[in-house]
Chains A and B, each alone.
Chain A
Amino acid sequence: MGNQALKKLDDLGGKLIGEIEKQTSPSFETVVRSKGNIIFDQGVGYLRLGNKKEVRTFLNIAQARKFMQTIAIANKCRKFLVEGAHTSIRGLYYQLRFTLGEDIEEDLFDEQTESNPLIEDLEVALSVKREDLNLNTDRKGVAAGQFKLRDKFGGEDTLIDGTKQGRSGWSIPSDVDNGLDFEEVKAKYVLVVEKDAMWQRLNEDRYWQKENCVLVTPKGQSSRGCRRFIRKLMDKGLPCYVFTDCDAWGWYIYWTLKTGSMNLAYLSKELSLPETKFVGVTMSDIKDYDFLSKLTIRAKEIDVKRAEEMINYPWISKHKDWVAELKLVLKDKKKLEQDALQGPRLSFVSDYLKQKINEKRFLS
């Protein structure tokens, strides 16, 4: 991918120079990322950008500065790729925070809020991810289980064994595409657990070994790297099950993983997990595990409001099981934490998950 991104950048440069030679305004095309151009694609099952295109061009008063800035970002990223060095989007901003010249009282960039959206422009225009341009994002998320990876980084070639990550697990990097390849995946499925504490509990039980799976926690809302890692495992044929609290935040985490988010709609194809299933916790679990009825919490206003909204989302309303679940929430006005499953005994969580997964009692 690194070489592909480099080629795309070179091609962009060549195209722009060609336009100047023909004395037309240098320009490139990108896709509109505003809400108006984000659609839920029933066919593929995730949010993606529509077909509205925008041309970024130099000879337009309103665009001249942004155009120049975008090309500066492109050139800087090209240098990172050639040098094989990575940085963050903040690091990139600092690399480009200089004056345009002694006689020009203007800086290339004044604030990082100027450079961030232009990076997205470039990602969309070139159909690459920022990670492909050697721009790191924040690392969040931990995995352990039946997989082996080869990590080529900083001149070293390291074999990572997901079964030998001890109590802390393997920390999922920002970029899982470039210089990182699966050597072996023995696991039969991926289990995503909302909370880090729950992951640690299951890791201590060696759940991934007993169940032959990959155990992942995004530690709340999932990072790009974490979603991409799960996507790659699913591309190898593994199903994915998600285990969160039964509340507004938990549902949000699940649906972002499944259908993608508005902000990253332009990357949904690489990040979303439409085939994933929801394993729990659900309100309907109460009828199967009656101890849970005593461990509910009164739902907050936001949980109720969220549930009401979700019922009407087209990508949710088509799933009857979800509509029933949300109606239950709205009726009882209660919520459940995944931690409640440790009520009878600490390892009950493992039993609960094993049972539900084996019996395929999921929400879609």
Chain B
Amino acid sequence: MPIDSFSQFKEHSVAEFFKKNKQMLGFSGKVRSLTTIVHEFTSNSLDAGEEVGILPEIFIQLEEEGDDKYKIAVQDNCGGIPEKYLGKALGQLLAGTKFHRYVQQRGQQGIGASGCIMYSQITTGKPAWVRSGYKNVIIECNIGINVSKNTPVITNLTKTMGEFSGLRIEAHLGDVRYENSGYGVYEYLKQTVLANPHAQIEFIAPDAQRYMFPRAVDVVPKPPIETKPHILGITANDLVEFSRRIKESRISAFLAEEFSRVSSNKVKELQELLPDIDFSQPPTSLNWDTAEKLIKAVHTLKWIAPATDILRPIGKENVARALQNILNPQFIAQSDRSPQIFHGGIPYQVEVAIAYGFTNGAHNRIMRFANRVPLLFDAGACGLTEAVKTIEWKRYRIDDFENMPIAVFVNFVSVHVPYTSAGKQAIALEEEIIAEVRNAIMEAARPVKGYLNGIVHLQERSSRRKVFLRYVAQLAGDMSELADMPKKKEAIKKGLVDLVEHRVGLIEEAEDAEAETAKEANAANGAVANGQENGNGKKDFEEKGE
């Protein structure tokens, strides 16, 4: 078969595009590539579940097939994909339904599952195998991508009737590696369930170890509402791009229809400020210069803040249940923040939970999420990490943040997450965002302090009793033998236990009385205590000044 030089060129360009942008799209490094692939498939399943209102049950299996080669199988129960869309959804790049939408969303921009199938194909040369059960029709086929045309290649398709409702994808992957670390698949899935407590995930690791992350909440979150962007959150560039994609025939209509909080009165005000621009011209006439002028003018006017009810936080109670379910900590404290606006026009909300005292520890003490998606990479460059790091933990009785059993959960919810890069693993270090996240963390940390104070007290008590009681058996044995009365051992033991209980009881009574007095004294001297704190602060300052 003769090789068409043109198609070869095109093939090259699509493959080249992917390869060149691979890093940006999360395919940098073997471990990260595998996590990205798992992320793409799981996000698809979770989104599908939300859309059709099904509680997701996701199954993921990884099998080693050689050096840096794995087979992945992902299966969900989220309604499947009809035959008609199967190719488009899985065998065509940038064909997802999420691209160019102004909505709170999980996934990467459209690179999604087809990007993973592409990755599979270019690293192993093998197509993926798919089984989709949609409305009692089960389709099984191989899916590859014709890279020259960027079209799906579907082969060996069979169609049967059956009960299965969902999607199963099996793909071979090269140049990836499984690692049980803070960057690995296990941690990713664990955190995914933390942020999506309505989902159940079963994971079989390459060493055949089976992990079950059970569901904690039985309510499917409402699908996110698509919204118009607020005019204050728009840049000149956004404006030019938007203007090429819309149906309106005049600039005035374009502004009023495509952006929220832009009334016809506001359009008039803008027109008055910008007599040089003809608002009756088609939006395509907007060039960079005019767009820039328009945005400048926008910022001189007052606008009603954007609606914040479109945000879909996980919810305080759901986060608590999820943490309880997965980490099983002794104590959970949470923030309760209302939505905020950044850049004047983009609504967002921060959800913070602090879990204290767990044995099945997390790899990461700071668990970052953007719209329920775990952010495992680029922690150092992330505004959420920065906010956690600047907290004075000692104030909250957390004397050793690095070593105490504590985890901080931060979910950043927004229709537009200000990522630092296309890799989407770090949130920009923007001052107003960091300040809000800090406030949320401090709000959650306050009850932790109270709890730890209480624990220390209880620990002292229980260990005091324990210290005595653990020696009672040995002591009773030795004493009875020492006095040559071995038969008295049990009586001595009982006597010692009574003695300990009685004595410890007396000590505790005394302590309680003391604490009660101290409490009353504190209540009476509340103002004095604050005054002392200030006094100390001043002293520190003076010392530094010297």
Instruction: List residues of chain A with CB under 8 Å of any chain B CB.
Output: 9-10, 12-14, 16-17, 20-21, 23-26, 58-59, 61, 64-65, 67-68, 71-72, 74-75, 78-79, 100-101, 104, 106, 108
8 smallest beta-carbon distances between A and B, as pairs = A13-B483, A13-B482, A75-B478, A20-B495, A68-B471, A75-B482, A71-B478, A14-B483
Q: How far, in Å, is B79 (CB) from chain A's closest CB?
A: 52
Asked if B458 lies at the interface with its beta carbon under 8 angstroms from chain A, I say no
CA distance A339 to B522 in the complex (A): 78
Q: Judge whether B484 and A25 touch: CB under 8 Å.
A: no
B474 close to A100 (CB less than 8 A) = yes
Q: Does B490 interact with chain A (Cβ within 8 Å)?
A: no
List 8 extra interface pairs beyond A20-B496, A21-B495, A59-B503, CB under 8 A. Answer: A17-B488, A20-B495, A26-B479, A64-B471, A65-B467, A68-B474, A72-B478, A101-B473
Assess the B482–A100 pair: CB atoms within 8 A: no
Bound together, the chains give a CA A17 to CA B478 distance in angstroms of: 11
The one of B467, B473, B484, B500 that contacts A13, using a Cβ cutoff of 8 Å? B484
Pick the residue among A14, A21, A68, A104 that contacts B475 (CB under 8 A).
A68
Q: Are A12 and B470 touching (Cβ within 8 A)? A: no
Q: A71, B475: Cβ atoms under 8 Å? A: yes
Interface contact B474-A72, CB-CB below 8 Å: yes
CA distance A67 to B468 in the complex (A): 11
Question: With a CB–CB cut-off of 8 A, which chain B residues contact A71?
Answer: 475, 478-479, 482
Contact between chains at B479 and A17 (CB < 8 Å): yes
Q: Is B422 an interface residue (CB 8 A)?
A: no
Asked whether, in the complex, the Cβ of B495 is within 8 Å of the Cβ of A58, the reply is: no
| Other-chain residue from B467, B483, B498 in contact with A64 (beta carbon distance below 8 A) | B467
User: Do most interface residues of chain A lie in helix, strand or loop, or is the interface mixed?
Assistant: helix
- Cα-based distance from A101 to B471 in the complex (angstroms): 10
Residue of B at shortest CB range from A79?
A: B481
Task: Give the residues in chain B near A14, CB-CB below 8 Å.
Answer: 483
Residues of A within 8 A of B498 (CB): 23
Q: How many A-B residue pairs lie within 8 Å, measured between CB atoms?
A: 86
Chain B at the A interface: mostly helix, strand, loop or mixed?
A: helix
- 16 A-B pairs, CB-CB below 8 angstroms? A10-B484, A17-B480, A20-B496, A23-B502, A26-B496, A58-B496, A58-B499, A59-B499, A59-B500, A65-B467, A71-B475, A71-B479, A72-B475, A78-B482, A104-B470, A106-B470
A71 to B471, CA, bound (A): 11
**Cβ-based interface call for B267 (8 A):** no
In the complex, A68→B470 CA distance in Å?
Answer: 10
User: In the bound complex, what is the Cα–Cα distance between A21 and B500 (angstroms)?
Assistant: 13
B496 neighbours in A (Cβ, 8 Å)? 20, 26, 58
The verdict on B485 contacting chain A, using a C-beta distance below 8 Å, is yes
Q: How far is the CA of A67 from the CA of B473 in the complex (A)?
A: 13
B500 and A16 contacting across the interface, CB-CB below 8 Å: no
Tell me whether B492 and A17 are in contact (CB under 8 A): yes
Q: Report if B464 contacts A (CB, 8 A).
A: yes
Nearest CB on B from A115, distance (A)? 14
CA of A342 to CA of B71, assembled, Å: 92
Of the listed residues B470, B471, B484, B500, the one surrounded by the most CB atoms of chain A closer than 10 A to its CB is: B471
Chain A residues with CB under 8 A of B470: 100-101, 104, 106
Q: A231–B354 Cα gap in the complex (Å)?
A: 72
Does B473 lie within 8 Å of A78, measured CB to CB? no
Q: Give the docked Cα–Cα distance between A104 and B473 (Å).
A: 11
Partner of B485, one of A17, A74, A79: A17
Contact B503 A108 (CB under 8 A): no
Contact between B464 and A61, CB atoms less than 8 A apart:
yes
Q: Are B481's CB and A64's CB within 8 A? A: no
Query: In the bound complex, how far is the Cα of B475 from the Cα of A72, in angstroms?
Result: 7
Provide the bound-state CA to CA distance between A23 and B480, in Å. Answer: 16
- Cα distance, A25 to B504, chains bound together (Å): 12
Q: Report the minimum CB–CB distance from B334 to chain A (whole Å).
A: 35
Which residues of B are found within 8 Å of A13, using beta-carbon distances?
A: 479-485
With a cutoff of 8 Å between Cβ atoms, the chain A residues found around residue B502 in the complex are 23
CB distance from B503 to the nearest CB of A (A): 5
Please give me the residue from chain A that is nearest to B466 by CB atom. A104
CB distance from B460 to the nearest CB of A (A): 10
- Min C-beta distance of B127 to chain A, whole Å: 56
Question: Could you tell me the distance in whole angstroms from the C-beta of B481 to the nearest C-beta in chain A?
Answer: 5
Given A23-B495, A25-B499, A59-B503, A16:B471 Cβ within 8 A: no
| Contact indicator B482/A65 (Cβ below 8 Å) | no
Q: Are A61 and B478 in contact (CB under 8 A)?
A: no
Q: How far apart are A64's CB and chain B's nearest CB, in angstroms?
A: 5
**Chain B, residue nearest A20 (CB):** B495
For the complex formed, measure the closest distance between the CB of B86 and the CB atoms of chain A, giving whole angstroms: 59
Contact of A58 among B468, B477, B481 (CB under 8 A): B468
Report A-chain residues with C-beta under 8 Å of the C-beta of B475.
58, 67-68, 71-72
For A23, the chain B residues whose CB sits under 8 A away are 495, 498-499, 502
**Minimum Cβ distance to chain B for residue A340 (Å):** 55
Which of B477, B483, B503 is close to A25, meaning CB atoms less than 8 Å apart? B503
Interface digits, B484-519 against A, CB 8 Å rule (1 contact, 0 not)? 110010001001101110110000000000000000
Closest B residue, CB atoms, query A23 = B499
Report the minimum CB–CB distance from A100 to chain B (whole Å). Answer: 6
The smallest beta-carbon distance between A215 and chain B, in angstroms, is 43
Q: How far is the CB of B468 from chain A (nearest CB, A)?
A: 6
Mask of B446-483 contacts with A, CB within 8 angstroms, 1/0:
00000000000000000010011011011101111111
Q: Which residues of A contact B479 (CB under 8 A)?
A: 13, 16-17, 20, 26, 71, 75
Interchain CB contact under 8 A, A61 and B467: yes
Specify the chain B residue showing the minimal Cβ separation from A76: B478
Is B483's CB under 8 angstroms from A10's CB? yes
Give Cα A100 to B473, complex, Å. Answer: 8
